[in-house]
Structure 1
Amino acid sequence: MRATLGLIRSLAIYYNPWRRRQLHAFYAGILAPGALAFDIGAHVGSRARAMRAAGARVVACEPQQPFAGFLRRSLPRDIILVEKAVGPSETVARMSVSSLHPTVSSLSTSFTGEAASKPGFGHVRWDSSQEVHVTTMDRLIADHGLPDFVKIDVEGFELDVLAGLGQPLPLLSVEYLPAFIDRTLAVIDRLEGLGRYSFNPVAGEEGQFLWADWRGPEAARAWLRGLDAQGGSGDLYARLT
Protein backbone atom coordinates (compact mmCIF):
# COMPACT_ATOMS: atom_id res chain seq x y z
CA MET A 1 0.00 0.00 0.00
CA ARG A 2 2.79 2.45 0.89
CA ALA A 3 4.57 1.71 -2.39
CA THR A 4 1.34 2.35 -4.32
CA LEU A 5 0.87 5.65 -2.50
CA GLY A 6 4.43 6.59 -3.41
CA LEU A 7 3.76 5.82 -7.08
CA ILE A 8 0.55 7.89 -7.08
CA ARG A 9 2.36 10.78 -5.40
CA SER A 10 5.13 10.72 -8.01
CA LEU A 11 2.64 10.62 -10.88
CA ALA A 12 0.84 13.67 -9.48
CA ILE A 13 4.13 15.57 -9.17
CA TYR A 14 5.87 14.65 -12.41
CA TYR A 15 2.90 14.60 -14.76
CA ASN A 16 1.81 18.10 -13.88
CA PRO A 17 0.76 19.63 -17.26
CA TRP A 18 2.88 22.78 -16.75
CA ARG A 19 5.94 20.70 -15.88
CA ARG A 20 5.40 18.49 -18.92
CA ARG A 21 5.20 21.46 -21.30
CA GLN A 22 8.42 22.91 -19.88
CA LEU A 23 10.26 19.61 -20.20
CA HIS A 24 9.10 19.07 -23.77
CA ALA A 25 10.22 22.54 -24.81
CA PHE A 26 13.57 22.22 -23.04
CA TYR A 27 14.51 18.86 -24.53
CA ALA A 28 13.41 20.01 -27.97
CA GLY A 29 16.08 22.69 -27.61
CA ILE A 30 18.95 20.33 -26.81
CA LEU A 31 18.05 17.12 -28.68
CA ALA A 32 18.04 16.87 -32.46
CA PRO A 33 15.49 14.52 -34.07
CA GLY A 34 16.95 11.02 -34.15
CA ALA A 35 19.41 11.68 -31.31
CA LEU A 36 20.03 8.84 -28.87
CA ALA A 37 19.26 9.63 -25.21
CA PHE A 38 19.69 7.56 -22.05
CA ASP A 39 17.44 8.26 -19.07
CA ILE A 40 19.26 6.82 -16.04
CA GLY A 41 16.84 6.76 -13.13
CA ALA A 42 13.70 7.06 -15.23
CA HIS A 43 11.30 6.89 -12.23
CA VAL A 44 7.80 7.47 -13.72
CA GLY A 45 9.11 8.18 -17.22
CA SER A 46 8.27 11.87 -17.52
CA ARG A 47 11.72 12.76 -18.83
CA ALA A 48 11.91 9.75 -21.14
CA ARG A 49 8.60 10.77 -22.69
CA ALA A 50 9.77 14.38 -23.10
CA MET A 51 12.95 13.19 -24.82
CA ARG A 52 10.87 11.05 -27.14
CA ALA A 53 8.55 13.99 -27.86
CA ALA A 54 11.64 15.92 -28.97
CA GLY A 55 12.27 13.20 -31.56
CA ALA A 56 14.98 11.30 -29.69
CA ARG A 57 15.46 7.56 -29.53
CA VAL A 58 15.30 6.75 -25.81
CA VAL A 59 16.72 4.06 -23.54
CA ALA A 60 15.20 4.33 -20.05
CA CYS A 61 16.76 2.58 -17.04
CA GLU A 62 14.70 2.02 -13.89
CA PRO A 63 15.12 -0.90 -11.45
CA GLN A 64 12.77 0.11 -8.63
CA GLN A 65 9.36 -1.47 -8.22
CA PRO A 66 6.55 -0.58 -8.67
CA PHE A 67 8.00 2.02 -11.08
CA ALA A 68 9.69 -0.41 -13.44
CA GLY A 69 6.41 -2.30 -13.73
CA PHE A 70 4.51 0.90 -14.37
CA LEU A 71 6.96 1.86 -17.13
CA ARG A 72 6.77 -1.62 -18.67
CA ARG A 73 3.00 -1.24 -18.99
CA SER A 74 2.76 2.42 -19.95
CA LEU A 75 5.79 3.59 -21.95
CA PRO A 76 5.47 3.86 -25.73
CA ARG A 77 6.84 0.71 -27.36
CA ASP A 78 9.63 2.58 -29.10
CA ILE A 79 11.22 3.55 -25.77
CA ILE A 80 13.61 0.78 -24.74
CA LEU A 81 13.15 -0.05 -21.05
CA VAL A 82 16.06 -1.57 -19.12
CA GLU A 83 14.85 -2.71 -15.71
CA LYS A 84 18.26 -2.31 -14.12
CA ALA A 85 20.24 0.22 -12.15
CA VAL A 86 23.48 1.59 -13.61
CA GLY A 87 26.71 1.45 -11.64
CA PRO A 88 30.43 0.65 -11.67
CA SER A 89 30.03 -3.05 -12.51
CA GLU A 90 27.50 -5.64 -13.64
CA THR A 91 26.21 -7.16 -10.44
CA VAL A 92 23.24 -7.51 -8.10
CA ALA A 93 22.86 -4.91 -5.36
CA ARG A 94 20.41 -3.86 -2.66
CA MET A 95 18.56 -0.57 -2.99
CA SER A 96 17.35 1.32 0.08
CA VAL A 97 13.73 2.28 -0.61
CA SER A 98 11.60 5.08 0.80
CA SER A 99 8.09 3.86 0.11
CA LEU A 100 6.37 7.24 0.55
CA HIS A 101 9.20 9.29 -1.02
CA PRO A 102 10.47 6.91 -3.71
CA THR A 103 12.38 9.60 -5.60
CA VAL A 104 15.07 9.39 -2.89
CA SER A 105 15.47 5.60 -2.97
CA SER A 106 19.17 4.93 -3.51
CA LEU A 107 21.87 2.33 -4.00
CA SER A 108 24.27 4.56 -2.05
CA THR A 109 24.37 3.51 1.59
CA SER A 110 26.45 6.57 2.46
CA PHE A 111 23.77 8.82 0.93
CA THR A 112 20.95 7.34 2.96
CA GLY A 113 23.14 7.31 6.06
CA GLU A 114 24.01 11.00 5.77
CA ALA A 115 20.59 12.22 4.65
CA ALA A 116 18.91 12.07 8.08
CA SER A 117 21.07 14.98 9.25
CA LYS A 118 20.68 17.03 6.06
CA PRO A 119 18.17 19.86 5.48
CA GLY A 120 15.01 18.69 3.74
CA PHE A 121 15.41 15.00 4.57
CA GLY A 122 14.22 14.88 8.19
CA HIS A 123 10.81 13.52 7.19
CA VAL A 124 12.17 10.76 4.92
CA ARG A 125 12.39 7.16 6.06
CA TRP A 126 14.07 4.36 4.11
CA ASP A 127 11.69 1.67 5.32
CA SER A 128 12.46 -1.26 2.99
CA SER A 129 14.92 -2.53 0.42
CA GLN A 130 14.91 -4.23 -2.96
CA GLU A 131 17.42 -6.44 -4.70
CA VAL A 132 18.14 -4.97 -8.14
CA HIS A 133 20.29 -5.91 -11.10
CA VAL A 134 23.00 -3.43 -12.06
CA THR A 135 24.53 -2.80 -15.48
CA THR A 136 27.14 -0.24 -16.57
CA MET A 137 27.23 2.72 -18.92
CA ASP A 138 29.79 0.92 -21.04
CA ARG A 139 27.44 -2.07 -21.35
CA LEU A 140 24.54 0.18 -22.35
CA ILE A 141 26.73 1.84 -24.97
CA ALA A 142 27.82 -1.55 -26.31
CA ASP A 143 24.18 -2.62 -26.56
CA HIS A 144 22.56 0.57 -27.86
CA GLY A 145 25.28 2.90 -29.17
CA LEU A 146 27.00 6.05 -27.94
CA PRO A 147 24.30 8.42 -26.65
CA ASP A 148 24.08 12.05 -27.66
CA PHE A 149 22.70 12.86 -24.20
CA VAL A 150 22.50 11.09 -20.83
CA LYS A 151 20.36 12.25 -17.92
CA ILE A 152 21.48 10.84 -14.55
CA ASP A 153 19.24 11.20 -11.49
CA VAL A 154 20.11 8.46 -9.00
CA GLU A 155 20.16 10.04 -5.52
CA GLY A 156 23.81 10.16 -4.57
CA PHE A 157 24.91 7.33 -6.87
CA GLU A 158 25.96 9.56 -9.79
CA LEU A 159 29.70 9.06 -9.33
CA ASP A 160 29.17 5.28 -9.25
CA VAL A 161 27.30 5.50 -12.56
CA LEU A 162 30.22 7.39 -14.11
CA ALA A 163 32.69 4.85 -12.68
CA GLY A 164 31.28 2.38 -15.21
CA LEU A 165 31.99 4.73 -18.12
CA GLY A 166 35.26 4.55 -20.01
CA GLN A 167 34.82 7.35 -22.57
CA PRO A 168 33.53 10.93 -22.68
CA LEU A 169 29.91 11.64 -23.55
CA PRO A 170 28.86 14.59 -25.74
CA LEU A 171 26.26 15.90 -23.28
CA LEU A 172 24.98 14.77 -19.89
CA SER A 173 23.20 16.04 -16.83
CA VAL A 174 23.43 15.03 -13.17
CA GLU A 175 21.07 16.04 -10.41
CA TYR A 176 22.57 18.32 -7.79
CA LEU A 177 21.33 18.51 -4.20
CA PRO A 178 22.56 21.55 -2.22
CA ALA A 179 22.89 19.42 0.92
CA PHE A 180 25.20 17.02 -0.96
CA ILE A 181 27.29 19.39 -3.06
CA ASP A 182 30.50 17.41 -2.42
CA ARG A 183 29.03 14.61 -4.52
CA THR A 184 28.44 16.92 -7.49
CA LEU A 185 31.94 18.36 -7.12
CA ALA A 186 33.27 14.80 -7.32
CA VAL A 187 31.27 14.29 -10.52
CA ILE A 188 32.99 17.33 -12.06
CA ASP A 189 36.36 15.84 -11.11
CA ARG A 190 35.39 12.55 -12.75
CA LEU A 191 34.24 14.26 -15.94
CA GLU A 192 37.51 16.19 -16.14
CA GLY A 193 39.25 12.82 -16.14
CA LEU A 194 37.24 11.79 -19.21
CA GLY A 195 37.45 14.95 -21.31
CA ARG A 196 37.20 18.70 -21.44
CA TYR A 197 33.75 19.86 -20.35
CA SER A 198 31.87 23.12 -19.92
CA PHE A 199 28.85 23.43 -17.63
CA ASN A 200 25.46 25.07 -17.24
CA PRO A 201 22.91 24.53 -14.44
CA VAL A 202 19.13 24.28 -14.53
CA ALA A 203 17.48 25.22 -11.24
CA GLY A 204 14.64 22.94 -10.17
CA GLU A 205 12.23 22.21 -13.01
CA GLU A 206 12.50 25.65 -14.63
CA GLY A 207 13.22 24.21 -18.06
CA GLN A 208 15.91 26.73 -18.98
CA PHE A 209 19.62 27.16 -18.44
CA LEU A 210 20.64 29.51 -15.66
CA TRP A 211 23.59 30.97 -17.58
CA ALA A 212 23.58 32.56 -21.02
CA ASP A 213 26.94 30.90 -21.74
CA TRP A 214 28.60 27.58 -20.89
CA ARG A 215 31.35 27.94 -18.30
CA GLY A 216 34.39 26.01 -17.21
CA PRO A 217 34.65 23.59 -14.27
CA GLU A 218 35.96 26.19 -11.81
CA ALA A 219 32.95 28.41 -12.43
CA ALA A 220 30.65 25.42 -11.90
CA ARG A 221 32.43 24.52 -8.66
CA ALA A 222 32.21 28.08 -7.37
CA TRP A 223 28.50 28.26 -8.16
CA LEU A 224 27.80 24.96 -6.43
CA ARG A 225 29.75 25.97 -3.32
CA GLY A 226 27.71 29.16 -3.13
CA LEU A 227 24.35 27.39 -2.98
CA ASP A 228 22.27 27.52 0.18
CA ALA A 229 22.30 24.04 1.76
CA GLN A 230 18.56 24.36 2.30
CA GLY A 231 17.86 25.39 -1.28
CA GLY A 232 16.20 23.41 -4.02
CA SER A 233 17.73 20.79 -6.26
CA GLY A 234 18.31 20.96 -9.99
CA ASP A 235 20.45 19.55 -12.79
CA LEU A 236 24.01 20.40 -13.77
CA TYR A 237 24.58 19.94 -17.50
CA ALA A 238 28.02 19.13 -18.87
CA ARG A 239 28.92 19.56 -22.55
CA LEU A 240 32.04 18.10 -24.12
CA THR A 241 34.13 20.86 -25.67
Structure 2
Amino acid sequence: MERLYRRFVNPGDLVFDVGAHVGDRVATFRRLGARVVAIEPQPALRTTLKLLRRWDRELVIEPVALGRAEGTVELKLNRDNPTVSTASPDFIRAAAGAPGWEAQAWTTSIVVPMTTLDALIVRHGTPAFIKIDVEGFEAEVLAGLSRPVAALSFEFTTIQRHVAAAAIDRCVALGYASFNAALGESQTLVHEAWLTAPQIAQWLADLPNAANSGDVYAIIS
Protein backbone atom coordinates (compact mmCIF):
# COMPACT_ATOMS: atom_id res chain seq x y z
CA MET A 1 0.00 0.00 0.00
CA GLU A 2 2.82 2.40 0.84
CA ARG A 3 4.45 1.74 -2.53
CA LEU A 4 1.31 2.93 -4.31
CA TYR A 5 0.61 6.01 -2.20
CA ARG A 6 4.26 7.11 -2.21
CA ARG A 7 3.60 8.23 -5.80
CA PHE A 8 1.22 10.89 -4.48
CA VAL A 9 2.21 11.61 -0.89
CA ASN A 10 5.47 13.06 0.47
CA PRO A 11 6.55 13.64 4.09
CA GLY A 12 4.81 16.71 5.48
CA ASP A 13 1.97 16.64 2.93
CA LEU A 14 -1.64 17.01 3.99
CA VAL A 15 -4.00 14.17 3.02
CA PHE A 16 -7.80 14.02 3.23
CA ASP A 17 -9.07 10.46 3.76
CA VAL A 18 -12.77 10.67 2.83
CA GLY A 19 -14.48 7.56 4.11
CA ALA A 20 -11.65 6.68 6.48
CA HIS A 21 -13.53 3.66 7.85
CA VAL A 22 -11.29 1.94 10.45
CA GLY A 23 -8.13 3.76 9.38
CA ASP A 24 -6.12 1.33 7.28
CA ARG A 25 -5.25 4.09 4.79
CA VAL A 26 -4.82 6.58 7.63
CA ALA A 27 -2.06 4.41 9.07
CA THR A 28 -0.39 4.15 5.67
CA PHE A 29 -0.47 7.90 5.08
CA ARG A 30 0.96 8.51 8.55
CA ARG A 31 3.81 6.05 7.91
CA LEU A 32 4.60 8.07 4.80
CA GLY A 33 4.95 11.15 6.99
CA ALA A 34 1.74 12.87 5.92
CA ARG A 35 -0.62 14.89 8.07
CA VAL A 36 -4.07 13.31 7.85
CA VAL A 37 -7.63 14.54 8.17
CA ALA A 38 -9.83 11.43 8.49
CA ILE A 39 -13.43 12.05 7.42
CA GLU A 40 -15.82 9.41 8.79
CA PRO A 41 -19.52 9.95 9.61
CA GLN A 42 -20.17 6.53 11.20
CA PRO A 43 -19.90 6.63 15.00
CA ALA A 44 -18.99 2.94 15.25
CA LEU A 45 -16.06 3.30 12.86
CA ARG A 46 -14.90 6.51 14.49
CA THR A 47 -14.39 4.52 17.69
CA THR A 48 -11.51 2.74 15.99
CA LEU A 49 -10.14 6.00 14.61
CA LYS A 50 -10.19 7.46 18.11
CA LEU A 51 -8.11 4.52 19.31
CA LEU A 52 -5.56 5.39 16.63
CA ARG A 53 -5.57 8.98 17.81
CA ARG A 54 -4.64 7.89 21.34
CA TRP A 55 -1.24 7.01 19.90
CA ASP A 56 -1.15 9.73 17.26
CA ARG A 57 -2.31 13.08 18.56
CA GLU A 58 -1.70 14.75 15.18
CA LEU A 59 -4.49 12.74 13.53
CA VAL A 60 -7.54 14.94 12.90
CA ILE A 61 -10.99 13.30 12.76
CA GLU A 62 -13.93 15.02 11.06
CA PRO A 63 -17.23 13.34 12.09
CA VAL A 64 -19.11 14.35 8.94
CA ALA A 65 -20.20 13.17 5.52
CA LEU A 66 -19.13 15.09 2.43
CA GLY A 67 -21.28 16.18 -0.49
CA ARG A 68 -21.98 19.04 -2.89
CA ALA A 69 -23.37 21.38 -0.19
CA GLU A 70 -23.50 21.94 3.54
CA GLY A 71 -26.42 20.42 5.42
CA THR A 72 -27.38 16.95 6.59
CA VAL A 73 -27.73 13.59 4.86
CA GLU A 74 -29.30 10.25 5.69
CA LEU A 75 -26.67 7.53 5.98
CA LYS A 76 -27.91 3.98 5.40
CA LEU A 77 -26.02 1.59 7.67
CA ASN A 78 -24.97 -1.96 6.92
CA ARG A 79 -24.43 -3.39 10.40
CA ASP A 80 -22.77 -6.60 9.17
CA ASN A 81 -20.44 -4.77 6.78
CA PRO A 82 -20.11 -1.12 7.91
CA THR A 83 -17.60 -0.27 5.19
CA VAL A 84 -20.41 -0.35 2.59
CA SER A 85 -22.74 1.97 4.49
CA THR A 86 -23.82 4.70 2.09
CA ALA A 87 -25.57 8.02 1.60
CA SER A 88 -26.69 6.93 -1.87
CA PRO A 89 -30.11 5.24 -2.20
CA ASP A 90 -29.17 4.49 -5.82
CA PHE A 91 -26.20 2.47 -4.61
CA ILE A 92 -28.48 0.27 -2.50
CA ARG A 93 -30.86 -0.23 -5.42
CA ALA A 94 -27.97 -1.15 -7.72
CA ALA A 95 -26.64 -3.67 -5.20
CA ALA A 96 -30.00 -5.42 -4.80
CA GLY A 97 -29.63 -8.83 -6.40
CA ALA A 98 -26.30 -8.03 -8.04
CA PRO A 99 -23.77 -10.89 -8.06
CA GLY A 100 -21.47 -10.60 -5.07
CA TRP A 101 -23.84 -8.28 -3.22
CA GLU A 102 -26.62 -10.73 -2.33
CA ALA A 103 -25.80 -10.90 1.37
CA GLN A 104 -25.66 -7.15 1.91
CA ALA A 105 -28.46 -5.44 3.84
CA TRP A 106 -28.89 -1.83 4.91
CA THR A 107 -31.20 -2.18 7.89
CA THR A 108 -31.06 1.15 9.67
CA SER A 109 -30.10 4.76 9.09
CA ILE A 110 -28.84 7.86 10.84
CA VAL A 111 -28.86 11.52 9.88
CA VAL A 112 -25.38 13.03 9.92
CA PRO A 113 -23.96 16.50 9.24
CA MET A 114 -22.63 17.06 5.74
CA THR A 115 -20.00 19.52 4.57
CA THR A 116 -17.87 19.96 1.45
CA LEU A 117 -14.28 19.48 0.38
CA ASP A 118 -14.08 23.23 -0.16
CA ALA A 119 -15.11 23.86 3.45
CA LEU A 120 -12.54 21.38 4.74
CA ILE A 121 -9.83 23.08 2.68
CA VAL A 122 -10.74 26.41 4.29
CA ARG A 123 -10.53 24.74 7.71
CA HIS A 124 -7.42 22.59 7.31
CA GLY A 125 -5.54 23.78 4.22
CA THR A 126 -5.10 22.36 0.73
CA PRO A 127 -4.23 18.66 0.66
CA ALA A 128 -1.71 17.13 -1.70
CA PHE A 129 -3.93 14.06 -2.06
CA ILE A 130 -7.59 13.21 -1.47
CA LYS A 131 -8.76 9.60 -1.15
CA ILE A 132 -12.52 9.13 -1.63
CA ASP A 133 -14.28 5.87 -0.75
CA VAL A 134 -17.96 6.56 -0.08
CA GLU A 135 -20.02 3.79 -1.74
CA GLY A 136 -21.73 5.46 -4.67
CA PHE A 137 -21.47 9.05 -3.39
CA GLU A 138 -18.13 9.82 -5.04
CA ALA A 139 -19.45 12.21 -7.69
CA GLU A 140 -21.39 14.10 -5.02
CA VAL A 141 -18.23 14.53 -2.95
CA LEU A 142 -16.31 15.82 -5.97
CA ALA A 143 -19.14 18.27 -6.70
CA GLY A 144 -18.16 19.99 -3.46
CA LEU A 145 -14.63 20.69 -4.74
CA SER A 146 -14.21 23.85 -6.81
CA ARG A 147 -10.45 23.79 -7.46
CA PRO A 148 -8.11 20.88 -8.02
CA VAL A 149 -5.51 19.47 -5.68
CA ALA A 150 -2.38 17.74 -6.98
CA ALA A 151 -3.88 14.24 -7.01
CA LEU A 152 -6.94 12.32 -5.87
CA SER A 153 -8.53 8.90 -6.01
CA PHE A 154 -12.12 7.72 -5.92
CA GLU A 155 -13.64 4.27 -5.63
CA PHE A 156 -15.70 2.78 -8.46
CA THR A 157 -17.98 -0.25 -8.62
CA THR A 158 -19.16 -2.16 -11.66
CA ILE A 159 -22.74 -1.99 -10.37
CA GLN A 160 -22.63 1.81 -10.72
CA ARG A 161 -20.38 2.64 -13.64
CA HIS A 162 -22.34 5.82 -14.32
CA VAL A 163 -21.21 7.22 -10.96
CA ALA A 164 -17.58 6.68 -11.94
CA ALA A 165 -18.28 8.30 -15.32
CA ALA A 166 -19.77 11.33 -13.56
CA ALA A 167 -16.77 11.50 -11.24
CA ILE A 168 -14.41 11.44 -14.22
CA ASP A 169 -16.38 14.24 -15.87
CA ARG A 170 -16.09 16.29 -12.69
CA CYS A 171 -12.35 15.65 -12.57
CA VAL A 172 -12.01 16.88 -16.15
CA ALA A 173 -13.97 20.03 -15.28
CA LEU A 174 -11.54 20.61 -12.41
CA GLY A 175 -8.55 20.29 -14.73
CA TYR A 176 -7.37 16.72 -14.24
CA ALA A 177 -5.78 15.34 -17.40
CA SER A 178 -4.24 11.95 -16.54
CA PHE A 179 -5.90 8.89 -15.05
CA ASN A 180 -5.03 5.40 -13.85
CA ALA A 181 -6.72 2.70 -11.81
CA ALA A 182 -6.20 -0.14 -9.36
CA LEU A 183 -8.53 -3.14 -9.19
CA GLY A 184 -9.95 -4.35 -5.89
CA GLU A 185 -7.42 -4.19 -3.10
CA SER A 186 -4.46 -4.92 -5.39
CA GLN A 187 -2.80 -1.56 -4.61
CA THR A 188 -1.19 -1.77 -8.05
CA LEU A 189 -1.84 0.58 -10.95
CA VAL A 190 -3.23 -1.28 -13.95
CA HIS A 191 -1.84 0.92 -16.70
CA GLU A 192 1.86 1.44 -17.26
CA ALA A 193 1.14 4.74 -19.01
CA TRP A 194 -1.45 7.16 -17.65
CA LEU A 195 -4.65 7.47 -19.69
CA THR A 196 -6.77 10.36 -20.89
CA ALA A 197 -10.28 10.82 -19.53
CA PRO A 198 -11.95 9.17 -22.56
CA GLN A 199 -9.53 6.25 -22.32
CA ILE A 200 -10.13 5.59 -18.61
CA ALA A 201 -13.89 5.96 -19.15
CA GLN A 202 -13.77 3.35 -21.92
CA TRP A 203 -11.64 1.04 -19.76
CA LEU A 204 -14.24 1.27 -16.99
CA ALA A 205 -17.08 0.62 -19.44
CA ASP A 206 -15.31 -2.49 -20.76
CA LEU A 207 -14.56 -4.04 -17.35
CA PRO A 208 -16.35 -7.33 -16.67
CA ASN A 209 -18.91 -7.18 -13.88
CA ALA A 210 -16.80 -9.66 -11.93
CA ALA A 211 -14.12 -6.97 -11.49
CA ASN A 212 -16.53 -5.55 -8.89
CA SER A 213 -14.62 -2.51 -7.65
CA GLY A 214 -11.41 -0.55 -7.57
CA ASP A 215 -10.09 2.99 -7.48
CA VAL A 216 -9.48 5.61 -10.16
CA TYR A 217 -6.50 7.93 -9.67
CA ALA A 218 -6.37 11.40 -11.21
CA ILE A 219 -3.47 13.84 -11.51
CA ILE A 220 -3.25 17.27 -13.08
CA SER A 221 -0.36 16.71 -15.50
TM-score range, shorter chain: over 0.9
Q: Which residue pairs with 1:20 in the alignment?
A: none
Q: What amino acid maps onto 1:62 in structure 2?
A: E
Q: What amino acid maps onto 1:197 in structure 2?
A: A
Deviations for 1:211-233, whole angstroms, at most 9, x for unmatched residues?
11111011101110111112231
1:59 aligns with 2:34: no
Which whole-Å CA distance do the structure 1 matches of 2:188 and 2:79 have between them?
Answer: 31
1:130 aligns with 2:110: yes
Could you tell me how far 1:25 is from its partner in structure 2? Answer: 2.8
Which whole-Å CA distance do the structure 2 matches of 1:150 and 1:137 have between them?
Answer: 9
What percentage of aligned pairs have identical amino acids? 39
Aligned to 1:162, which of 128, 142, 147? 142
Tell me the TM-score normalized by structure 2: 0.95
Deviations for 1:130-186, whole angstroms, at most 9, x for unmatched residues?
121111100000011111100000000001101111111210000111121111011
Q: What amino acid maps onto 2:168 in structure 1?
A: I
Q: What amino acid maps onto 1:195 in structure 2?
A: G
Which whole-Å CA distance do the structure 2 matches of 1:70 and 1:54 have between them?
Answer: 20
Greater alpha carbon shift after TM alignment, 124-133 vs 68-77: 68-77
Deviations for 1:193-218, whole angstroms, at most 9, x for unmatched residues?
11142101111222221111111011
Could you tell me how far 1:103 is from its partner in structure 2? Answer: 1.3
Aligned to 1:84, which of 42, 59, 64? 64
Aligned to 1:74, which of 36, 52, 61? 52
Q: Which residue pairs with 1:119 in the alignment?
A: 99
Greater alpha carbon shift after TM alignment, 149-158 vs 213-222: 213-222
Which whole-Å CA distance do the structure 2 matches of 1:72 and 1:116 have between them?
Answer: 33
Q: Which residue pairs with 1:102 in the alignment?
A: 82
> Are the counterparts in 1 of residues 159 and 209 from structure 2 also a CA contact under 8 Å?
yes
1:44 aligns with 2:22: yes
Could you tell me how far 1:104 is from its partner in structure 2? Answer: 1.1
Name the SS for the 2:57 alignment partner.
coil
Which whole-Å CA distance do the structure 1 matches of 2:94 and 2:76 have between them?
Answer: 13
Which whole-Å CA distance do the structure 2 matches of 1:74 and 1:171 have between them?
Answer: 25
RMSD, aligned α-carbons: 1.2
> Are the counterparts in 2 of residues 119 and 179 from structure 1 also a CA contact under 8 Å?
no
> Are the counterparts in 2 of residues 91 and 133 from structure 1 also a CA contact under 8 Å?
yes
Which whole-Å CA distance do the structure 2 matches of 1:188 and 1:28 have between them?
Answer: 23
Aligned length: 219
1:199 aligns with 2:186: no
Deviations for 1:30-79, whole angstroms, at most 9, x for unmatched residues?
31111111000000000011011011111110011200122123232111
User: Which segments of 5 or more consecutive residues in structure 2 lack a partner in the other structure?
Assistant: none
Which whole-Å CA distance do the structure 2 matches of 1:198 and 1:109 have between them?
Answer: 30
Which whole-Å CA distance do the structure 2 matches of 1:81 and 1:196 have between them?
Answer: 27
Which whole-Å CA distance do the structure 1 matches of 2:189 and 2:92 have between them?
Answer: 29
Aligned to 2:205, which of 219, 225, 234? 225
Structure 1 runs, 4 residues or longer, greater than 4 Å off: none
Query: Measured at CA, do residues 217 and 174 of structure 1 come closer, stay the same or move farther in structure 2, by a change above 3 Å?
Result: same
Could you tell me how far 1:116 is from its partner in structure 2? Answer: 0.3
Tell me the TM-score normalized by structure 1: 0.87
User: Which segments of 5 or more consecutive residues in structure 1 lack a partner in the other structure?
Assistant: 1-22
Q: What amino acid maps onto 2:106 in structure 1?
A: W
Which whole-Å CA distance do the structure 1 matches of 2:66 and 2:94 have between them?
Answer: 22
